[in-house]
Amino acid sequence: MLHNKTYCFKNVKLQLVSWMMLWTSSLLLAQSDSAFYKNDVFNCKYHLTAGMLNGHYVSYYNNGVKKSEGNFQYNTRIGEWSVWDSTGKLRTKRMYTNPYDYKRVYPETSTEGPVPLLSSPIYKLHRDSSGAWKRFQLEYIMLKYKQRDFKWFYTSQTQLFFDYNSLYTILCEAVMKNNVSVYGRGGKDEDYVDEKLDIASIDTSKVKLVGFRIKSDWHFDDKRLEGDPRVLWITVLVTNKNDSKDTTDLFTVYYPNLQKMFVREKILNTMASPYIQNLDDVFFFSSFGFEKYSKKLRIDSRLQYTYTPGNKVSNGLLDEVETEHNLWIYFNK
């Protein structure tokens, strides 16, 4: 059984108070830091808050021509965004009213005939009856690009929207109550979670929490022309208390099975963003910082890849941003 229940479950009220204190201090300490990145394809200037893109963002081709410009709020786009090709020609301009809804400013759409109906948004950001943000219903015929992302974040990194120990407590509680199944990877790489674990085999008394790994799929469809990350699995990362050299997986949980529980975990400082009110919102919008990143292109026989970006950026945040900009340009020829 899960040992060390005291750490995971005892005195939940005290945990919530601790969460509030840590939350408040992280908000006070979080600052927007300016940063610069350059590789052999482009360079960019951006701002980070607790590891998230937050503030003005501008990128340039290496010939000096501006590629993109806009603003982020906790890893989601807000306001006006413009993207140019390498000759300086404006390819698209859009005005975001929320992280997933935008109005296309350029190229302009016709106001005559049936075109306005065709140009109307096919998805509106809204919550379902449980309080979770409702996902757009993706179909394979819509998908034009898909990649699998792996993101690691560690307890040494400040998070703005959650506390590591509280997240760990929530996951342990879900496992202890048999609300979700737990998995391991059986010695395989992080893309495999095919070994179902016996709850009795998990002993938390001998380990120390060091972080989490998030496995998600990032899609781009030709209906909305937007990138859409979707979390699949959360893995708890630990070290042995007596030997902290090696990090290992404690257990892995399928994220959709956690969603209802995460919706109930309210974010205490709702002033940070009107769209992030509970823990599920944090993962819906990928509003968390991370320290390590890798990706794989997923080839699916049902998925026709009409475009595969050639740019490979070492910074995971910028990889996602510039991959999406490349796709905007490609589909606005």
| Lowest pLDDT segment from 112-116, 134-138, 265-269, 294-298 | 112-116
Give the β-pairing of 243-254 and 227-240: antiparallel
Q: φ, ψ for residue 228 (rounded to 5)?
A: -145, 95
Report the largest interatomic distance among the alpha carbons of the chain, rounded to a whole angstrom. 72
DSSP secondary structure letters along 179-231: SS--EE-TTS-TT---EEPPGGG--GGGEEEEEEEEEEEEEEETTT--EEEEE
pLDDT reading at 55 higher than 90: yes
pLDDT band per the 50, 70, 90 thresholds, residue 316: confident
More confident residue, 112 or 40: 40
pLDDT reading at 311 higher than 70: no
pLDDT reading at 6 higher than 50: no
| Lowest pLDDT segment from 146-160, 213-227, 296-310 | 296-310
pLDDT reading at 40 higher than 50: yes
Contact 47, 53 (CB under 8 A): yes
The DSSP output letter for 266 is B
pLDDT reading at 101 higher than 90: yes
pLDDT at site 118: 45
More confident residue, 44 or 206: 44
pLDDT at site 112: 61
Buried b (16+ CB within 10 A) or exposed e, 64-82: eeebbbbbbbbbbbbeebb
Residues in the chain: 333
pLDDT band per the 50, 70, 90 thresholds, residue 52: very high
pTM for the complete prediction? 0.85
pLDDT band per the 50, 70, 90 thresholds, residue 140: confident
